[in-house]
A and B are shown apart, each in its own frame.
Chain A
């Protein structure tokens, strides 16, 4: 059973960099075939995708956050990490890491889904 666990500071000061790590157990990031994502949820709001990384290190970010986001992977530790720079109160949210799986039909990917999620960690941006 794959499990994901977020870790990192719960309080970050404005203008600083938010840093979180997701530790994966029960499966190897290096095995390939999955995209490892960060998703956040502002208090009382919906889900917002931040970005993902493949085990090879290739990344893709939400265009609305791209200028401030860096996602990296450490396959030796089976972890991937999020850095969000220049944070403001608007970045206060619960941050989730999740594994995105995909299914192909006749060689074409037509189903993407997040099959495993971390429990989420609340990050508050405040001085």
Chain B
């Protein structure tokens, strides 16, 4: 099965811009979706598709994609953005039915 690879940890200074990446062959066939998870809470969808934000997600969150890499960008990171971030797509190898998640990136806002 295909895998999605994320950096385990990233840090950003308050108010600065940070990019979290996700790599995998399946991203050549599918757009990634991105989830924010804070301690003790369920994941929350923040970006899906080319660059779509669900209602209620601040516009400082944006997404992009190129080749086998998807990126989540937070422009002007806030303290409340400190969380784990996961990417997700379907596995494009085989029958495209498996769901895959990246290992997650822990974002620290300094």
| Residues from 38 to 89 in B contacting A, C-beta threshold 8 Å | 41-45, 48-49, 54, 86, 88-89
CB 8 Å contact bits of A86-116 with B (1 = contact, 0 = none): 0000000000100010010000001111110
User: Known contacts being A46-B104, A47-B104, A63-B1, is A112 close to B42, with CB within 8 Å?
Assistant: no
Chain B contacts for A118, CB-based, 8 A: 42
Interface residues on B, range: 20 to 34
Contact between chains at A114 and B45 (CB < 8 Å): yes
Interface size on A, residues (CB 8 A): 22
CB 8 Å contact bits of A43-55 with B (1 = contact, 0 = none): 0001111001000
Contact between chains at A52 and B33 (CB < 8 Å): no
Name the distance in Å between B21's Cβ and chain A's nearest Cβ: 16
Contact between chains at B103 and A112 (CB < 8 Å): no
Contact between chains at B86 and A47 (CB < 8 Å): yes
Name the distance in Å between A2's Cβ and chain B's nearest Cβ: 12
Does A119 touch B at the CB level, under 8 Å? yes
Contact of B42 (CB < 8 Å), options: A37, A103, A120: A120
Contact between chains at A49 and B44 (CB < 8 Å): no
Contact between chains at A113 and B33 (CB < 8 Å): yes
CB 8 Å contact bits of B89-106 with A (1 = contact, 0 = none): 110000001111111100
Does A34 touch B at the CB level, under 8 Å? no
Chain A contacts for B108, CB-based, 8 A: none
Most chain B CB within 10 A, of A46, A60, A120, is at: A46
Contact between chains at A112 and B30 (CB < 8 Å): yes
- Chain A residues at the B interface, C-beta cutoff of 8 Å: 37, 46-49, 52, 60, 62-63, 96, 100, 103, 110-115, 117-120
**A-B CB contact pairs (8 Å), 8 listed:** A47-B86, A47-B104, A60-B98, A111-B48, A111-B49, A114-B88, A115-B48, A120-B42
- Extra contacts, 11 of them, besides A60-B98, A114-B88 (Cβ < 8 A), are A46-B86, A62-B99, A100-B99, A111-B31, A111-B49, A112-B88, A113-B45, A113-B88, A114-B45, A115-B48, A119-B41
- Chain B residues at the A interface, C-beta cutoff of 8 Å: 1, 29-31, 33, 35, 41-45, 48-49, 54, 86, 88-90, 97-104
